[in-house]
Each structure stands twice: as C-alpha cells, then as structure tokens.
Amino acid sequence: MAAAGAVALSGCGSGTQTVGTAPPKQKDPFEQRAEQIVRDWPKVSPVSGRKDTMLPLTGADRPRNTAVRELTVTVGHGACDAKYGVHTHESKDLVVVAGWSKKKNQNGMCTSQLVTDKVEITLKSPLDDRELVDAATGKQLLKG
C-alpha cells in the first residue's frame, strides 16, 4: 500500500501538498461499467463495440432457488481465444456480470466464429432478490 503524507512547501508560497509514492490504481473497464450500472439501474444502455474485457453473455441457467450462491452463465467468445471467463460485481440490489477473453498469439489463420461455453460463478452472498445484469448489454438475465 502506498504511503502518503503532507509536506510543507517553503519558498513557493504557503500551503500543504499531499504526496505519495504511487498514483491511485485505475479501475478496470468492467468495474467502471458495473459501478455505473448500479448507480443508473434500470436506465442503462448497452456498451458500443466488442470489447474482450466485457463480452455479452449469451444466457444464464435459472438456479434451483434464489438462496444459491452458484450460478451458471454462458459466455460467447472467439474460437481462437486462449482463455475466457466471467467478471462479477455484487451490490445490494444487483449482480453485474460480463464475459472476458484473451486471444492466443496467432501465427496463422483463425476463423471468426463464436463459441459458447458454460462457466460457473460463485457469489459472495446468495442471489436472493438481486437482479442478474449483463454489463455489456445492460439487460437483465433470468427474467420472469
């Protein structure tokens, strides 16, 4: 953790400046988007373009009941992606999710077909009455 302190400036007027050893850590695009969805819910628009750090989910399996902490979602990713998974962000009223993928180092051709895979996620607390929301599309999953 970076330490910060106050330093008195001399010869440059009077005042105090806070200094630290490292700049504050930037939130990744998913966390920024998840926080925006929590703030603006339910008035959320989809993100524009395809981002490997925030892919739309193609679905979610309905859990047996809302007391569960494990959910299964379906991630769409490229056929040549080396890795894929799901981001989650939990708030009091929402669980925001999005897929992610990382491409392989390509030395040859790769088709641009979509592959879907089921991924199980474990929530910090039970789903209960919280809405499950896709970060990329801004749409509620598990409606009805």
The H-or-E segment that residue 81 falls in is strand 81-90
Whole-prediction pTM: 0.78
d(CA 117, CA 101): 12
Q: Is the peptide bond before 42 cis (omega within 30 degrees of 0)?
A: yes
Give Cβ neighbours of residue 124 (< 8 Å, ≥ 6 apart): 69, 90
Radius of gyration of the chain (CA): 20
Each residue's pLDDT tens digit in the chain (144 positions)? 444 444 444 445 555 545 556 666 778 999 999 999 999 999 999 998 777 789 999 999 999 999 999 999 999 888 888 899 999 999 999 999 999 998 876 676 777 788 899 999 999 999 999 999 999 999 999 986
